[in-house]
Homo-oligomer: A and B are copies of this chain.
Amino acid sequence: MIENIEYDALLERFKRVLRDNGLKYTKQREVLLQTLYNNSEHFTPEQLYLYIKERHPGLNVGIATVYRSLNLLEESGMVTSISFGVQGKKFELANKPHHDHMICRQCGVIVEFEDQIIEKRQLAIAKEHGFKLTGHIMQLYGVCGECNKQKIKGI
């Protein structure tokens, strides 16, 4: 096992949240967190379930546990969910370094980016409205260079 201070800190935080709420630390929950940590993709509960089953054949997981854990993690603020267009709700770790998404409507390619100017404005805006920001998702929709040539009839 490769040492990873960042992940260790995340795990500690996870354990603390569990402890603080009288919940238990189980292998299933750790694997879930680990999977979200190791993959920058956004998972639907279904995908996460299949992924874990495949990568951890020894571990018995049920889809119900995945749902229960995701809801738990989301409630505690460690995980966030968003939805991209038609596909269902997707989950990702909440405390990844700030990043945003640019999505091609045509081919679905996702480009991640980060912009300090926007980050700062977001904080300021939240403050103006009395919100305590816990996270954000910015999704820019458009057509990527590749797809620009084959545009369908739209608006």
Contact = CB atoms under 8 A, between A and B. Distances in A.
Interface of A: 13, 17, 20-21, 71, 74-78, 80-86, 89, 94-95, 102, 104-105, 111, 113, 115, 117-118, 121-122, 125-126, 129-145, 148, 152-155
A17 B77 contact: no
Contacts of A105: 77, 134
A141 B136 contact: yes
B117 A121 contact: yes
A77 B17 CA distance: 41
Given A74-B86, A136-B138, A141-B80, A125 B115 contact: yes
Nearest to A136: B140
A116 to B, nearest CB: 10
Nearest to A95: B155
Contact of A122 (B104, B140, B154): B140
A126 B153 contact: no
A133 B90 CA distance: 22
Nearest to A148: B132
Contacts of A17: 153-155
A95 B141 CA distance: 12
12 contacts: A21-B153, A74-B86, A75-B152, A75-B154, A81-B83, A82-B83, A111-B131, A113-B125, A118-B121, A131-B142, A131-B145, A136-B139
A66 to B, nearest CB: 16
